[in-house]
């Protein structure tokens, strides 16, 4: 059975009918189906539901780009966003339609319920 990653990324590289033919042992995957924050080298920072990841590519659903963020409760760093959420002064884009394939991710941060609630309550692109 092919993974969501293979189905979603099958068209990357020019041949829409092929998936990777290399079979390698993959370690256990963590946080699949959970809300996460993903930091990427070139694509920025995104919040969304983790669908799959492989190597340095991740697939999110219901993704929102984090254009500018302020961590809630005077915390700092991106890990603070995953732990306690974002302040209302943050600028978060609306959900991106369909699965989003993000190359070159650096980290996947699982979100607490407190963090998820802050994203849910954050208006789309609240600041310009």
pLDDT at 76: 87
Asked if residue 126 is part of any domain, the answer here is no
Asked if residue 128 is part of any domain, the answer here is no
- Over residues 65-108, the pLDDT tens digits come to 999 999 999 888 999 999 999 999 999 999 988 899 999 999 99
- Over residues 33-59, the pLDDT tens digits come to 999 999 999 999 999 999 999 999 999
pLDDT at 93: 93
For residues 20-40, give the mean pLDDT: 80
The DSSP string of 62-114 is: EEEEEEE--BGGG--HHHHHHHH-B-TT-EEPPPPSS-EEE-SEEEEEEPPHH
Q: Left if phi > 0, otherwise alpha if psi is -120 to 50, otherwise beta: which for 117? A: alpha
CA distance 96 to 118: 18
pLDDT at 10: 52
Residue span of the structural domain in which 91 resides: 4-12+31-120
Task: Indicate the number of domains in the chain.
Answer: 1
Q: Between 63 and 23, whose confidence is greater?
A: 63
Res 9 pLDDT > 60 = no
pLDDT at 26: 62
Asked if residue 62 is part of any domain, the answer here is yes
pLDDT at 16: 46
Asked if residue 74 is part of any domain, the answer here is yes
What is the token pair recorded at 81? 């966003």
CA distance 26 to 40: 21
Asked if residue 45 is part of any domain, the answer here is yes
Asked if residue 63 is part of any domain, the answer here is yes
Band of pLDDT at residue 7, cut at 50, 70 and 90: low
Asked if residue 42 is part of any domain, the answer here is yes
Looking only at the bridges linking them, the beta strands covering 35-40 and 57-68 are: unpaired
Q: What is the CATH number of the domain that holds 98?
A: 2.30.30.100
CA distance 46 to 78: 11
Q: Looking at the whole model, is its pTM more than 0.75?
A: yes
Asked if residue 59 is part of any domain, the answer here is yes
């Amino acid at each position: 059975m092919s993974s969501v990653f293979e189905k979603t990324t099958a068209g990357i590289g020019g041949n829409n009918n092929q998936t990777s033919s290399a079979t390698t042992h993959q370690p256990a995957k963590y946080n699949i189906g959970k809300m996460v924050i993903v930091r990427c080298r070139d694509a920025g920072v995104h919040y969304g539901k983790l669908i799959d990841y492989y190597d340095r590519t991740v697939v999110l659903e219901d993704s929102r780009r984090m254009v500018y963020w302020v961590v809630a409760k005077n915390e700092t760093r991106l890990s603070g966003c995953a732990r306690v959420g974002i302040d209302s002064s943050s600028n978060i884009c609306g959900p991106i339609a369909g699965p989003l394939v993000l190359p070159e991710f650096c980290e996947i941060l699982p979100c607490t319920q407190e963090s998820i609630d802050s994203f849910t309550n954050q208006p789309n692109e609240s600041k310009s």
